[in-house]
């Protein structure tokens, strides 16, 4: 049986060229970049070249790229590190200050904000409309004199909705508030010129764009006050201690380079396949709906709901038929509870319970989509037949 992978928002395949670029740094060039001998210097050079590649691709300076263990660390660092910098500067102030974020963030941001709230920070979680978009007016109105950080994700991992990051950055700049964006889903999908963007912090993770797991980066605009959260050997301009993940960093730069090179062509092709998939499902399965913004959306994301169906049962059937997709985000599917994203979008229970996410890549084909549509028709019908509440 062929297996079909429709879960690219959870993670992507490490591309063979990426693996090839990484391999020498395990067995031959395995030096520690901090060592002063030849092995160390070679590793240091590899890390520095990767930093330059990433900076060039994103239109920023190499010294504004800090390597991390992934998206989660980058998000935690941007937010907690900004809080710590503020505490250091505001020793006499009673209130710790105010953060504005959204109700649909990844848990790496959401749970960080909840943690800070318990420690005395004030946090506003902006609502979203039925397409998953925040309102710029509501954002502007939420800002207070003590607001020091806005954290709004670039693109949502569950429904793919892309936020107006340019306008948010402009507003943040006007108000003198730092702006962090979790771009883990967006990196590699958009043309970026960070130096003129008004973005203060941007988080990314290699395994979401064809690189290895366990490595990512945080862009930090030059001159920004940020306090380290990892202390030790003072790597990364004394901002992020820990021996650099040299093969991972090399692989991440290679993956970003590859993905950006094919960007335009791939985005068009993947979106076309995704829209074909959506069109067939909507036409052929009654009482189905597409979730998220069909216009301002990641190219590969398709979040669909089928009324009268329990998504977890549908996913089991699909999995047995070799089709791998997910409900909501991969990170939350193990923990109980409905999708916080779909809830924030105001969907009713029947749509939330029957929601599945298909996230496509350039490796998916029309044949795979056709097969998946047939199977989904069959399984949705079967599950509805078994549902006594559905018949009425
Ligand atoms: C995957 C993901 C993360 C977490 O990144 P890791 O590298 O897996 O820690 C954070 N934010 C978003 C939007 C994601 O999709």
Residue among 320, 315, 310, 317 at smallest CA distance from 330: 315
**Which are the contacts of 320, defined by CB distance < 8 A and separation ≥ 6?**
none
Phi, psi of 367 (to 5 degrees): -60, -40
Residue among 266, 215, 241, 168 at smallest CA distance from 54: 215
Report whether residue 188 contacts ligand 1, using a CB cutoff of 6 Å. Answer: no
CB–CB of 150/178 below 8 Å? yes
Cross-strand bridge partners of residue 178: 149
Report whether residue 7 contacts ligand 1, using a CB cutoff of 6 Å. Answer: no
* Helix, strand, or coil (residue 183): coil
Q: Dihedral of CA 230/235/40/53: which sign?
A: positive
Report whether residue 361 contacts ligand 1, using a CB cutoff of 6 Å. Answer: no
CA 36 / ligand 1 centre spacing (Å): 34
Tens place of pLDDT per residue across the chain (392 aa): 789 999 999 999 999 999 999 999 999 999 999 999 999 999 999 999 999 999 999 999 999 999 999 999 999 999 999 999 998 876 666 678 999 999 999 999 999 999 999 999 999 999 999 999 999 999 999 999 999 999 999 999 999 999 999 999 999 999 999 999 999 999 999 998 999 999 999 999 999 999 999 999 999 999 999 999 999 999 999 999 999 999 999 999 999 999 999 999 999 999 999 999 999 999 999 999 999 999 999 999 999 999 999 999 999 999 999 999 998 655 554 445 789 999 999 999 999 999 999 999 999 999 999 999 999 999 999 999 999 998 76
The DSSP call for residue 14 is P
Query: Counting atoms of ligand 1 from 1, which one is nearest the CA of 206?
Result: 7
CA 255 / ligand 1 centre spacing (Å): 16
Residue among 59, 100, 94 at smallest CA distance from 82: 100
Enclosing H/E stretch for 80: helix 71-89
* Helix, strand, or coil (residue 290): strand
Query: Counting atoms of ligand 1 from 1, which one is nearest the CA of 205?
Result: 7
Ligand 1 probe mutation, 108, 113, 158, most atoms within 8 A of CB: 108
Report whether residue 82 contacts ligand 1, using a CB cutoff of 6 Å. Answer: no
Cross-strand bridge partners of residue 335: none
CA 209 / ligand 1 centre spacing (Å): 11
Report the 3 state secondary structure along 148-178.
EEEECCCECCCCCEECCHHHHHHHHHHHCCE
Residue among 70, 51, 69, 71 at smallest CA distance from 61: 51
Query: Counting atoms of ligand 1 from 1, which one is nearest the CA of 330?
Result: 1
CA 184 / ligand 1 centre spacing (Å): 6
Measure the N-to-C terminal CA separation of the chain; round to a whole number of Å.
37
Distance between CA atoms of 165 and 163, rounded to whole angstroms? 5
CA 202 / ligand 1 centre spacing (Å): 12
Ligand 1 probe mutation, 72, 76, 155, most atoms within 8 A of CB: 72
Q: Which residues are catalytic?
A: 331
CA 391 / ligand 1 centre spacing (Å): 40
Distance between CA atoms of 322 and 6, rounded to whole angstroms? 10
Report whether residue 247 contacts ligand 1, using a CB cutoff of 6 Å. Answer: no
Ligand 1 probe mutation, 107, 182, 209, 214, most atoms within 8 A of CB: 182
CA 312 / ligand 1 centre spacing (Å): 22
* Helix, strand, or coil (residue 99): strand
Length of the chain: 392
Report whether residue 14 contacts ligand 1, using a CB cutoff of 6 Å. Answer: no
Report whether residue 156 contacts ligand 1, using a CB cutoff of 6 Å. Answer: no
Ligand 1: residue whose CA is nearest its atom 3 = 71
Report whether residue 8 contacts ligand 1, using a CB cutoff of 6 Å. Answer: no
DSSP letter string, 352-382: HHTEEEEE--TT--HHHHHHHHHHHHHHHHH
**Which are the contacts of 267, defined by CB distance < 8 A and separation ≥ 6?**
189, 299
Ligand 1: residue whose CA is nearest its atom 10 = 71
Report whether residue 205 contacts ligand 1, using a CB cutoff of 6 Å. Answer: yes
* Helix, strand, or coil (residue 222): coil
**Which are the contacts of 126, defined by CB distance < 8 A and separation ≥ 6?**
100, 101, 102, 103, 134, 135, 138, 139, 142, 152
* Helix, strand, or coil (residue 128): coil
CA 216 / ligand 1 centre spacing (Å): 9
* Helix, strand, or coil (residue 235): helix
Distance between CA atoms of 149 and 7, rounded to whole angstroms? 32
Largest CA distance in the chain: 76
């Amino acid at each position: 049986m062929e297996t079909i992978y429709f879960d690219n928002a959870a993670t992507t395949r490490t591309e063979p060229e990426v693996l090839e670029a990484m391999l020498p740094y395990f067995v031959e060039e395995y030096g520690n970049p901090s060592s002063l001998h030849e092995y160390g210097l070679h590793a240091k050079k590899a890390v520095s070249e990767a930093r330059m590649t990433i900076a060039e691709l994103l239109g920023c300076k190499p010294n504004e790229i800090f390597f991390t263990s992934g998206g989660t660390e980058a998000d935690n660092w941007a937010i907690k590190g900004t809080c710590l910098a503020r505490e250091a500067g505001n020793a006499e102030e009673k209130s710790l200050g105010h953060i504005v974020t959204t109700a649909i963030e990844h848990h790496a941001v959401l749970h960080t904000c909840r943690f800070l709230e318990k420690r005395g920070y004030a946090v506003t979680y902006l609502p979203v409309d039925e397409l998953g978009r925040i309102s710029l007016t509501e954002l502007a109105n939420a800002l207070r004199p003590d607001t020091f950080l806005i954290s709004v994700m670039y693109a949502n991992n569950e429904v793919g909705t892309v936020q107006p990051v340019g306008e948010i950055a402009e507003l943040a700049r006007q108000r003198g508030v730092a702006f962090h964006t979790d771009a883990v889903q967006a990196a590699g999908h958009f043309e970026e010129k960070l130096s003129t963007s008004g973005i203060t912090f941007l988080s990314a993770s290699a395994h979401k764009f064809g690189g290895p797991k366990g490595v990512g980066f945080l862009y930090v605009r030059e001159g920004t006050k940020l306090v380290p959260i990892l202390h030790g050997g003072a790597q990364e301009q004394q901002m992020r201690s820990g021996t650099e993940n040299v093969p991972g960093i090399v692989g991440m730069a290679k993956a970003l380079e590859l993905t950006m090179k094919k960007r335009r062509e791939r985005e068009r092709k993947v979106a076309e396949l995704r829209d074909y998939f959506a069109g067939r499902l909507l036409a052929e399965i009654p009482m189905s709906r597409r979730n998220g913004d069909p216009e301002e959306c990641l190219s590969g994301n398709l979040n669909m709901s089928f009324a009268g169906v329990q998504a977890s049962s549908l996913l089991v059937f699909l999995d047995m038929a070799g089709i791998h997709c997910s409900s909501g985000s991969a990170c939350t599917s193990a923990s109980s509870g409905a999708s916080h994203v779909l809830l924030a979008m105001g969907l009713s229970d029947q749509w939330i319970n029957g929601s599945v996410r298909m996230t496509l890549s350039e490796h998916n084909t029309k044949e795979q989509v056709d097969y998946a549509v047939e199977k989904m028709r069959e399984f949705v019908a079967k599950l509805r037949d078994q549902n006594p509440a559905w018949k009425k």
